[in-house]
Amino acid sequence: MRRDSVGYTMMVAAVLCIVCSVLVSGAAVGLRSRQQANKDAFRKENILIAAGMLEKNQSVEELFEARIQEQLIDLATGTPASPDAVPAPYDQRSAARDPDLSVGIDAAQDVAGIKRREKYSQVYLVRQENGELEKIVLPVYGKGLWSTLRGFLALEADLNTVAGLTFYEHKETPGLGGEIDNPLWKAKWPGKLLRDSEGAIQLEVIKGQVQAGTPRAQHQIDGLSGATITSRGVSNLIRYWLSDNAFGPFLDQIAKGNLGESDG
């Protein structure tokens, strides 16, 4: 075949396409397990960050394995999910959109703006060396201004004192809503109280600065300036996920002493 013919050009283009697509799909398939491992390490790292336990020079994997117990719970009851009810492996994110594995949220209760939520959620129990419960870490998400904010909220074993909050995914504007990643802002969370003495959720990001010494200061976090909508999104997702419609039943189980003992 002549090298300057149309047929030859088409053949070279076709061979190039086939070779490249084999290379790309080979790389995608070959690297899948490594991608999954990286995703898993990132999740564990963020859980440790929320719990205030991430330490330099220590393996995330080892720290996680040594101190954290993962549990899949049925949000409706707060008890461990029955293995028959949940497909394995369980992808919580896609479950939140699966009609069989999620429930719709009434508009009046949907303060986090997520419309549906998964029926089953992972929770993370942080154990002391003697096996006693030290903290719990809960996955939380809800609407910000431009995006869904996804993160972890950690509570001390009293289930009322915040141990930490971190977001691992969002598309808010850097310098505005994106300041939810700022370590100085995240440092304002530990020690704040979730509920008042009546048990109502009061933890919130306010507009402006918290007035130290006022009765509500223990529940309040400074707002992000120029980012009231993202700030409100953070308050709202906490209000939803810690309510009786989401993790409330699980928190009740822990308060009753169920699940609080180490199984290992």
Ligand X SMILES: Cc1cc2nc3c(=O)[nH]c(=O)nc-3n(C[C@H](O)[C@H](O)[C@H](O)COP(=O)(O)O)c2cc1C
Give the nearer residue to ligand X in terms of CB position, either 39 or 171: 171
Strands (E) located in 157-245? 162-169, 204-205, 220-221
Measured between alpha carbons, how far is residue 200 from residues 14, 56, 78, 83 in Å?
65, 37, 19, 33
Q: Is 229 in the site for ligand X (CB under 6 A)?
A: yes
Which segment (62-70, 112-120, 148-156, 227-235) binds ligand X by CB under 6 A?
A: 227-235
Closest-by-Cβ residue to ligand X is 177
Query: What ranges make up the beta strands (E) of 30-96?
Result: 68-74, 79-80
Q: Label each residue of 101-137 as H, E or C.
A: CEEECCHHHCCCCCCEEECEEEEEEEECCCCCEEEEE
Residue 78 or 233 with smaller CB distance to ligand X: 233
Q: Does 118 bind ligand X (CB under 6 A)?
A: no
- Smaller CB separation from ligand X, 83 or 226: 226
Q: Which range, of 6-14, 48-56, 90-98, 171-179, touches ligand X by CB under 6 A?
A: 171-179
Q: Does 228 bind ligand X (CB under 6 A)?
A: yes
In this structure, what token pair is assigned to residue 104?
């719709």
Kindly report the CA angle at 33 between 29 and 35, in degrees rounded to 5? Answer: 90
- Using CB under 6 A as the binding rule, whether residue 217 contacts ligand X is answered as no
Q: How many Å apart are CA 63 and CA 54, to the nearest integer?
A: 8
Determine if 147 is a binding residue for ligand X (CB under 6 A): no
The count of residues interacting with ligand X (CB under 6 A) is 12
26 binds ligand X (CB under 6 A): no
Name the one range near ligand X by CB under 6 A: 31-39, 52-60, 83-91, 173-181: 173-181
Q: Does 177 bind ligand X (CB under 6 A)?
A: yes
Maximum Cα–Cα distance across the chain: 87
How many helices, marked H, and strands, marked E, lie in the chain? Answer: 7, 10
Residue 163 is a binding residue for ligand X (CB under 6 A) = no
10 Å CB burial of residue 143 (0-12, 13-18, 19+) is: buried
Task: Return the residue of 47, 172, 250, 254 that touches ligand X, per CB under 6 A.
Answer: 172
Which of 145, 180, 205, 210 binds ligand X (CB under 6 A)? It is 145
Q: Contact with ligand X (CB under 6 A): which of 103, 157, 176, 217?
A: 176
Contacting ligand X (CB under 6 A), which of 173, 202, 243, 253? 173
Residues 203 and 194 sit within 8 Å (Cβ to Cβ): yes
Which spans of this chain sit near ligand X (rule: CB under 6 A)? 145-146, 172-173, 176-177, 225-230
